[in-house]
Amino acid sequence: MNTHYTRTAKSLHWLMALMIFGLLALGFYMSDLPLSPDKLQYYAWHKWAGVSVFALVWLRLAWRVTHRPPALPASMPAHMQWAAHAGHFALYALMIAIPLSGWLMSSAKGVQTVWFGVLPIPDLLSKDKELGHTLAELHEALNIGLLLLIAGHAAAALFHHFFHKDDTLRRMLPSR
């Protein structure tokens, strides 16, 4: 039985982690900037990367469905196993919901996303300023939730590594 994730699963995990951290940092930074050409460029980059994460999460889910992840340690209590599964489910749900909320927000604000300045992404909603504002608040709240969930995810991995001394963290590290 395999005790580590596949090289592809690890690559997707760490690539998406880097992209998500970059998106979070850029998103929080750019939101308070005054309107300027730089701010508009940051928004374009943020949207391009968000569309890319949205595409990658579907690739990652397809990989996960076709390549079973390693089993959790047999010594892990049932409540921790449940928490691990619930946490992963929530991470995937947010990796879908956050870009989708951003796409809906952009649509409602009447600002079409053009992926890498080349491929126009169709708007999902007609222009509605009030709905756009509500979706912006939702997008921000989901991102704060993601930050908290990521912190819990990392804390759990470190807890297993340093206190339970099991293989939970090592099986997702880039090298064995």
Question: What pTM was estimated for this model as a whole?
Answer: 0.92
pLDDT confidence of residue 176: 55
Average pLDDT, the chain: 93
pLDDT confidence of residue 169: 85
Write the CB contacts of 98 (distance below 8 Å, at least 6 apart in sequence).
50, 139, 142, 143, 146
- pLDDT over threshold 90, residue 165: no
Structure tokens at 110: 């009447």
- Are 58 and 16 in contact by the 8 Å Cβ rule? The answer is no
Which of 118, 90, 114 has its CA nearest to residue 103?
114
pLDDT confidence of residue 1: 60
